[in-house]
């Protein structure tokens, strides 16, 4: 009996020690990030800290959306240890939120590569928010079982609640229903306590649609509504893999769409002006992409020159980032929700 009590006490002490070490490490990392931010502001009030970064680690996709502005120009994906190194550099530079996107991020290694990065960012870097944007076609329950606990938000892109419209846009995979995938993921997000977000690109095929009822039924924590955007060499120009012209709408058309959906409380609009330079976009080589001139000009890779030097070539508009609501309640631990 005494030995059993001693074993139980020792086991409890070891668990308590591990938990203490985890919290100490988490505090240390966050304290170091705050020091980085303070130091940057002291050195120059205009210094930019990459609070939120979109890492497009792959350009490959199984959909063929006609307006896609991050196309399959390469098939390159960094080895996972180098990707983790880059994420650590960004965390040390002040990043507290990362969004994994593509391409379709669930294609590479059937989502395992993505899952391991999500887990690393929560378990090792203790980021406030780890999010994913997906078309939903390759997401599985098994992935949620393995990695859902580390994910704050899963965003699914859906441009119409009419399957035929999605097919005309190119947002579909042969033999699969995009809307079925969307609703299945919504249910898994509830089951595995992951915040659900919806992304919609407003274009000529869906600009007249009324989605209020369907969006309110899904209850996303945010509904991001983007005006279809043109970017040279991605979806515009002689050498582009997509041609966006047939999909473009006017600002008045976009505002009309927003007016029709003003009853949806979680709607967050992004016009071309708000969207173009207000994101830190990191490509498959871990280069920031500067879109100030209408095409994506890559910086040197953060793996080669470090984050501080690469940021000089990011073209980031910090004022617009905050103006469009880029900083929001993005951690599921802070969300006041009944799962």
**Of 68, 158, 221, 228, which residue is the catalytic one?**
68
Residue 276 above 50 pLDDT? yes
pTM above 0.85, yes or no: yes
* DSSP labels, 223-250: EEEEEP---BTTTBSTT-SS--GGG---
Both tokens of 83, joined, read: 């990707």
**Of 61, 121, 189, 221, which residue is the catalytic one?**
61
C-beta separation of 246 from 205 below 8 A: no
- pLDDT tens-digit series, residues 3-16: 565 566 555 554 45
Residue 65 annotated as catalytic? yes
Closest CA to 324 of 280, 284, 274: 274
Reported as a pLDDT band with limits 50, 70 and 90, residue 337 is low
With helix as H, strand as E and coil as C, how does 60-114 read? CCCCCCCCCCCCCCCCCCCCHHHHHHHHHHHHHCCCCEEEEECCCCCCHHHHHHH
pLDDT at 14: 44
In sequence order, the β-bridge partners of residue 130 are: 98
Residue 228 annotated as catalytic? no
C-beta separation of 159 from 179 below 8 A: no
- All structural domains of the chain, each given as residue ranges with its CATH number in brackets, are 50-322 (3.20.20.70)
In sequence order, the β-bridge partners of residue 281 are: 54
d(CA 271, CA 53): 20
Residue 189 annotated as catalytic? no
Q: How many CB atoms lie within 10 A of CB 150?
A: 18
């969300």: which residue's tokens?
335
- pLDDT tens-digit series, residues 183-242: 999 999 999 999 999 999 999 999 999 999 999 999 999 999 999 999 999 999 999 999
Give me the mean pLDDT over the 47-60 stretch.
96
**Of 65, 158, 189, 228, which residue is the catalytic one?**
65
């Amino acid at each position: 009996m005494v030995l059993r009590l001693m074993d139980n006490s020792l086991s409890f002490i070891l668990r308590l020690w591990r938990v203490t070490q985890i919290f100490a490490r988490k505090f240390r990392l966050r304290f170091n990030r705050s020091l980085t931010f303070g130091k940057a502001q002291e050195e120059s009030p205009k210094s930019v800290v990459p609070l939120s970064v979109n890492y497009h680690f792959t350009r490959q996709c199984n959909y063929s959306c006609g307006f896609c502005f991050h196309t399959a120009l390469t098939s390159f994906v960094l080895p996972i240890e180098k990707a983790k190194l880059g994420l650590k550099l960004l965390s040390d530079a002040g990043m507290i939120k990362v969004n994994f996107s593509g391409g379709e991020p669930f294609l590479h290694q059937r989502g395992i590569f993505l899952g391991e990065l999500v887990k690393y960012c929560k378990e090792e870097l203790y980021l406030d928010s780890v999010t994913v944007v997906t078309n939903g076609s390759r997401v599985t329950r098994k992935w949620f079982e393995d990695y859902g606990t580390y994910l704050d938000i899963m965003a699914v892109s859906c441009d119409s609640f009419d399957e035929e419209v999605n097919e005309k846009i190119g947002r579909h995979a042969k033999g699969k229903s995009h809307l079925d995938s969307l609703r299945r993921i919504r249910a898994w997000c509830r089951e595995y306590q992951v915040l659900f977000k919806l992304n919609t690109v407003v274009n000529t095929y869906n600009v007249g649609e009324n989605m209020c009822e369907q969006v309110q039924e899904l209850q996303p924590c945010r509904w991001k509504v983007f005006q279809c955007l043109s970017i040279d060499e991605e979806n515009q120009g002689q050498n582009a893999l997509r041609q966006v012209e047939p999909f473009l709408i006017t600002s008045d058309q976009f505002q009309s769409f927003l007016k029709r959906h003003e009853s949806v409380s979680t709607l967050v609009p992004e016009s071309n002006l708000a969207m173009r330079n207000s994101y830190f976009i990191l490509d498959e080589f871990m280069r920031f992409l500067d879109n100030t001139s209408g095409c994506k000009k890559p910086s040197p890779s953060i793996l080669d020159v470090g984050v501080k030097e690469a940021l000089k070539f990011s073209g980031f508009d910090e004022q617009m980032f905050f103006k469009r609501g880029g900083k929001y309640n993005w951690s599921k631990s802070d969300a006041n929700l009944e799962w």
